[in-house]
Amino acid sequence: RNRHPKTDYQYDSRQIPGRPECLSTRKELYERNFPVYKQPAEVGSFSLDSKRRFFNDSRQIRYYAKLDRRPNFDLTDGYRDRYVKRDESVKENLNHLLQWILANRAAVGSSQAAASPCPIDTDFVTWRGHLTKLLTTPYENREGWLLAVTKFKGTLYVSEVETEAARTQRQNRTEKHKEMTYWGYKFEQYMCADDAQSVPNPGGVVNTNEAFCAVVRTRLADHRLLFSGEVDGRDKDPRAPPPPECYIELKTSAEICTPKQRSNFHRFKLLKWWAQSFLLGVPRIIAGFRTQDGVVVDVETISVSEISHIIKAERNCWKPTVCMNFCCAFLSFVKRTVTEDDPSVVYLFSYEPYGDVTFTVHRDSQYSFLPPWYVEELIG
Ligand code: 0WD
Ligand code: CA
């Protein structure tokens, strides 16, 4: 067969060398040494209150309360009468993070502030959740994604666009599924208190508008990243290490009763759990194992750094290095592709299971996501 010579083997071989139009997601291509990933450093945090209003402080942080006995938490309690749900049809894009950036320009700006051609001192700005999707892409064969990228004053902003399939799924969720979504938030309420001195209050209202988000800086190979992720709680001991090391992630999962269930938990759940917490530098996951009808009967602490060892015993399992190398290759692909520096231009990157990552370019379209208040403030 007559093929183009490949200059960089991670790119699709059908492409002209040096100017790839798509990026392969085949896991075999990403099995090399683990890339440099700097320990994330927290540069700030913000809070969203019960009405989803932004505050440039940590007022919504919660304190993890260790259990002193076997749990017996009914996760359905309050679902009908003490649940205020965030309106998921409202697309927030990067807005809260951009609001945080404007409120903290001294902390994120380069030295010459306003006059600088690169006022935000980073290559990429995004949500942690978007990076999690990138990390798991080589192993994802159910759900595709769309990521919109805009280059503005030298920085690449990455914001998710809901796929048609995801929107259809969201609008057709079963009653059971809606209830199960509540379970995760209810578990947080059983496990966390509003201050370090008090105890959790399971009698209160679960309001999913409320959030505490950490903003971190780090580097993946030669990509400087500034991103934010929602944090469930922190160690309440004042002598705990500084953030993000004192943070914890709360998860619920079905009880594991058979070897098959254990293997599936390692192969699918732990991949997502690891990617999410590793990115932000959160060292511990507190997992609540529940019965079929949503009663947590066991709580275990999973050390994020141990996960890579746990999964090695599993044959045909995911590999952290593949996740990180793919993410790194995607960011390189974005840097090469997104050349036009214009807040109204969007390069839309698309992934569908078993396919490559491809892109299209859109000017002044429905996809533009940098709000005028942000653009005007940076133009100065
Ligand atoms: O616009 C979007 N498509 C998204 C926006 C997708 C995901 C999150 N967000 C927003 C939310 O406002 C959130 O406050 O970004 C903020 C930070 O999110 P993240 O940490 O980057 O997102 P991710 O790691 O996917 O989710 C963290 C937690 C989830 O915990 P679990 O344990 O279920 O992974 O954020 C919550 C949820 O509790 N969460 C969301 N909250 C609001 N809107 C959303 C969402 N769409 N998705 C997850
Ligand atoms: Ca959680």
Task: Dump the DSSP string for 341-371.
Answer: B-TTEEEEEEE-TTS-EEEEEEESSTT--S-
Q: Give CA angle at 32 (28, 35), nearest 5°.
A: 130
> Given ligand 1 and candidates 230, 231, 277, which is best to mutate, with the most ligand atoms within 8 Å of its CB?
230
The residue whose two tokens read 């209150």 is 49
What's the whole-model pTM score?
0.94
List of residues 6+ apart from 171 with CB closer than 8 A: none
Residue 216, ligand 1, Cβ within 6 A: no
Atom of ligand 1 nearest to the CA of 184: 33
Q: Tens digit of pLDDT per residue, the chain (380 long)?
A: 333 433 334 444 444 455 569 999 999 999 999 999 999 999 999 999 999 999 999 999 999 999 999 999 999 999 999 999 999 999 999 999 999 999 999 999 876 555 678 999 999 999 999 999 999 999 999 999 999 999 999 999 999 999 999 999 999 999 999 999 999 999 999 999 999 999 999 999 999 999 999 999 999 999 999 999 999 999 999 999 999 999 999 999 999 999 999 999 999 999 999 999 999 999 999 999 999 999 999 999 999 999 999 999 999 999 999 999 999 999 999 999 999 999 999 999 999 999 999 999 999 999 999 999 999 999 98
Spatial neighbors of 337 by CB under 8 A, at least 6 apart, are 347, 359
pLDDT (tens digit per residue) in 262-288: 999 999 999 999 999 999 999 999 999
Residues whose CB falls within 8 Å of the CB of residue 370, separated by 6 or more in sequence, listed in order: 94, 98, 150, 152, 157, 343, 344
Q: Report residue 12 as tokens.
A: 């699709």
Q: Give the ligand at the shortest distance from the Cα of 233.
A: 2
Please tell me the distance from the alpha carbon of residue 170 to that of residue 273, in angstroms, as a whole number: 22
- The ligand minimizing its distance to the Cα of 230 is 1
**Rounded distance from Cα 129 to ligand 1 centre (Å):** 6
**Ligand 2 geometric centre to CA of 263 (Å):** 22
Query: How many residues are recorded in the chain?
Result: 380
Q: What is the rounded distance in angstroms from the CA atom of residue 74 to the CA atom of residue 61?
A: 24
Contact between 65 and 200 under an 8 Å Cβ cutoff? The reply is yes
Burial class (CB in 10 A: 0-12, 13-18, 19+), 209: middle
Q: Which tens digit of pLDDT belongs to each residue from 35-78?
A: 999 999 999 999 999 999 999 999 999 999 999 999 999 999 99
Q: What are the backbone angles phi and psi of residue 252, rounded to the nearest 5°?
A: -120, 155
Ion ligand 2: protein residues whose beta carbon lies under 5 Å:
232, 250
What angle, rounded to 10 degrees, do the helices at 270-280 and 128-136 form?
140
Ligand 1: centre distance to CA 230 (Å): 7
Task: Calculate the alpha carbon distances from 245 to 12, 59, 132, 271 in Å.
Answer: 39, 19, 19, 20
Q: Looking at the CA of 229, which ligand is closest?
A: 1
Say how far residue 348 (Cα) sits from the centre of its chain.
Answer: 19
Distance CA 44, CA 52 (A): 19
Cα 184 to ligand 2 centroid, rounded to whole Å: 7
**Cα 232 to ligand 2 centroid, rounded to whole Å:** 6
Residue 323 parent element (H or E): helix 320-337
The Cβ-side half-sphere exposure at 241, using a 13 Å CA radius, reads 12
